[in-house]
């Protein structure tokens, strides 16, 4: 297992790399370049990022947010141009040691919350929060405006302004696209990129829908074990994998997270893990919790045990921390609670290893 940390770059992230390096057991980053969907990532910019990360004593073997352009998801004629750019980016990243690319195939919205800083009554911290009832009072444009206002000036993953500038037009285009259509377009994308990944030694890791159900009438096709069973069969290859996010899938209590990890881990179809906890507050109503199992409704011990037993060499990052100790920063991506989460997950891992008579 390699413990990693999401970082947004020295020009955008208030957390210096030296702080990330000081988190016990931290090996590297799940990194990114802040680039619009569909562009061919500039090699010189990635080389500079890699050098900065390596100079801090960290690895960058996983890249997130090589975003899939909406034209690919909608199956428009322009998709081939964007797929060609994607393939070029895959080749460039592989050349510089990247092993896993995390992405998603969610239409329009990558993830959705109705409050980015809901106070947790038990301790006074705040965290990301979702209540579907609130969406009855807010349309898509309103939730975009609210999210931008609550982001403290930071760009949030999946909420990049250029992606949302044509929101009304894009939503209209999706009106005639159902789940089967989206899955067909997904297969077209995978059939193009997975052979390249096999050639250069990169694994694509698809992130689940977040939350784990359809929103605003948009088709969503990756939020259950059955969905991902279909996804891995769209192009059956060890390079076609999941980034299994416990909080995204776990937002739906019908998803048995340890069982899903074991299912896909035994198939060797997990490329990376995002590990976090959620607290259920009602139907389609939850908040994000500290990683400690008892603060939420997911069993982090059983989750880590399933990872240990079936995909022990995977990449993990502590996902979406609370804001604690008066920290101000990008919602969900502060330093302190994610550092605590990493320490907790590493502690569970050590206990599992020693419980089986292995050295940590």
Q: What is the pTM of this model?
A: 0.95
Cβ atoms 109, 215 nearer than 8 A: yes
The pLDDT of residue 158 is above 70: no
Show the tokens assigned to 129: 């929060």
Known active-site residue 333 = yes
Q: Which range has the worst mean pLDDT, 40-49, 122-131, 140-149, 339-348?
A: 140-149
Strand arrangement of the beta sheet that strand 277-282 belongs to: 115-119, 126-131, 285-289, 277-282
Out of 3.40.50.2000, 3.40.50.1450, 3.40.50.150, 3.20.20.150, select the CATH number for domain 2-355: 3.20.20.150
Instruction: State the pLDDT confidence band at 357, using cuts at 50, 70 and 90.
Output: confident
Known active-site residue 71 = no
pLDDT tens for 297-350 read: 999 999 999 999 999 999 999 999 999 999 999 999 999 999 999 999 999 999
Amino acid 359: pLDDT:
60
pLDDT tens for 47-101 read: 999 999 999 999 999 999 899 999 999 999 999 999 999 999 999 999 999 999 9
Where would I find the H helices in 2-139? 17-21, 43-55, 70-74, 79-95, 132-135
Known active-site residue 69 = no
Cβ atoms 256, 135 nearer than 8 A: no
The residue from 274, 308, 337, 344 that is catalytic is 274
Which residues, listed in sequence order, are joined to residue 205 by a DSSP beta bridge?
102, 241
The residue from 8, 333, 336, 344 that is catalytic is 333
pLDDT tens for 177-197 read: 999 999 999 999 999 999 999
The residue from 209, 210, 319, 337 that is catalytic is 319
The pLDDT of residue 152 is above 80: no
Amino acid 223: pLDDT:
98
Known active-site residue 319 = yes
The pLDDT of residue 249 is above 90: yes
Known active-site residue 274 = yes
Instruction: State the pLDDT confidence band at 27, using cuts at 50, 70 and 90.
Output: very high
The residue from 320, 336, 337, 344 that is catalytic is 320
Domain ranges of the chain: 2-355
Known active-site residue 308 = no
The residue from 197, 206, 243, 245 that is catalytic is 245
């Amino acid at each position: 297992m390699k413990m990693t940390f999401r970082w947004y770059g020295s020009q955008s992230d208030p957390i210096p790399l030296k702080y990330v390096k000081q988190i016990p057991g931290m090996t590297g980053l799940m990194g990114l370049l802040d680039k619009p969907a569909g562009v061919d990532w500039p090699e010189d910019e990635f080389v500079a990022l890699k050098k900065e990360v390596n100079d801090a004593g960290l690895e960058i073997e996983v890249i997130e947010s090589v975003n899939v352009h909406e034209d690919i998801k909608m199956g428009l004629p322009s998709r081939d141009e964007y797929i060609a750019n994607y393939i070029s980016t895959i080749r460039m990243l592989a050349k510089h040691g990247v092993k896993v690319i995390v992405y998603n195939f969610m239409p329009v919205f990558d993830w959705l919350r109705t409050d980015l800083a809901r106070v947790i009554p038990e301790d006074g911290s705040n965290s990301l929060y979702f209540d579907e009832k609130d969406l009855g009072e807010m349309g898509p444009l309103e939730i975009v405006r609210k999210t931008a206002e609550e982001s403290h000036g930071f760009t949030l993953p999946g909420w990049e302004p250029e992606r949302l500038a044509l929101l009304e037009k894009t939503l209209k285009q999706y009106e005639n696209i159902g789940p089967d259509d989206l899955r067909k377009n997904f297969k077209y994308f995978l059939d193009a990129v997975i052979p390249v990944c096999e050639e250069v030694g990169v694994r694509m890791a698809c992130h689940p829908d977040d939350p784990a159900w359809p929103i605003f009438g948009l088709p969503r096709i990756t939020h259950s074990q059955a969905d991902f069973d279909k996804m891995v069969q769209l192009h059956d290859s060890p390079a076609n994998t999941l980034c299994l996010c416990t909080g995204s899938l776990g937002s739906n209590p019908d998803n048995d997270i340890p069982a899903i990890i074991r299912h896909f881990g035994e198939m060797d179809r997990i490329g990376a893990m995002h590990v976090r906890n959620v607290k259920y507050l009602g139907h389609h109503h939850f908040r994000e919790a500290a990683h400690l199992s008892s603060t939420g409704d997911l069993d982090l011990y059983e989750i880590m045990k399933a990872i240990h037993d079936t995909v022990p060499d995977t990449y993990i990052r502590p996902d979406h921390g609370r804001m604690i100790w008066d920290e101000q920063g990008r919602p969900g991506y502060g330093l302190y609670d994610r550092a605590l989460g990493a320490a907790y997950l590493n502690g569970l891992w050590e206990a599992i290893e020693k419980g089986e008579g292995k050295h940590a």
